[in-house]
Chains A and B, each alone.
Chain A
């Protein structure tokens, strides 16, 4: 059973870079044809897909955030990471990591989510 766990600072100052890591357990991050995504949800609002990384390291990003987002993978640690630069209060949200088993698959597995607040 694959499990995902987000970690990172819960508070980030405006204009700084938000950095989160998702640790995968119960399976190798580089096995199969999995895609590893980040999704966020502001309080009381809907879900927004941020982007994803394939096991090969190729990435897809949401055009609305593309200029500020970098997703990377560290196969030695079985982790993938999110960096979102130049954050504002609008980036305050619960951030989830999630897995698609293959291209165009649903998100079968999700992390529990981590709240990141952007405030000075």
Chain B
């Protein structure tokens, strides 16, 4: 199985801050890395796919980078609606695995 490790597990930040969340795969997954945002009581929402492609309708302050085993999600200027939990997910091979999540708090 490919294990996904996110860091940090939680993060306190302020509106306007630049935030970086990292995700590491236990083996190379090329660019098969996706990022989701989840708010309480809601299904995850796709933000970034294929490591760096911005999903339609997602604000441009979100960006992704990386390949192989190391990936990052960057939020350039935090907005109030960005406070949520973020998950990375590898779609390289089954079993599909998610990172443990990063809880972004005010």
Q: Which residues of A contact B (CB under 8 A)?
A: 37, 46-49, 52, 60-64, 96, 98, 100, 104-108, 110-113
Q: Which residues of B contact A49 (CB under 8 A)?
A: 95-98
B91 touches A104 (CB 8 A): yes
| Cβ distance B81 to chain A, nearest Cβ, rounded Å | 19
Q: Which residues of B contact A (CB under 8 A)?
A: 1, 32, 34, 36, 42-46, 49-50, 55, 87, 89, 91-101
Chain A residue nearest to B34 in the complex (CB): A106
B98 touches A104 (CB 8 A): no
A96 touches B96 (CB 8 A): no
A-B contact count (CB 8 A): 58
A48 touches B46 (CB 8 A): no
| Cβ distance B34 to chain A, nearest Cβ, rounded Å | 4
Given A107-B46, A110-B44, A46 and B87 contact (CB-CB distance below 8 Å): yes
Q: Which residues of A contact B89 (CB under 8 A)?
A: 47, 106-107
Given A47-B44, A110-B44, A60 and B94 contact (CB-CB distance below 8 Å): yes
Q: Which has the most chain A C-beta neighbours within 10 Å: B32, B46, B96, B100?
A: B96
* Docked complex Cα distance between A62 and B97 (Å): 9
Given A100-B91, A104-B32, A106-B49, A48 and B44 contact (CB-CB distance below 8 Å): no
| Cβ distance B2 to chain A, nearest Cβ, rounded Å | 12
* Docked complex Cα distance between A105 and B96 (Å): 11
Chain B residue nearest to A49 in the complex (CB): B96
Q: Which residues of A contact B45 (CB under 8 A)?
A: 110
Q: Which residues of A contact B42 (CB under 8 A)?
A: 112
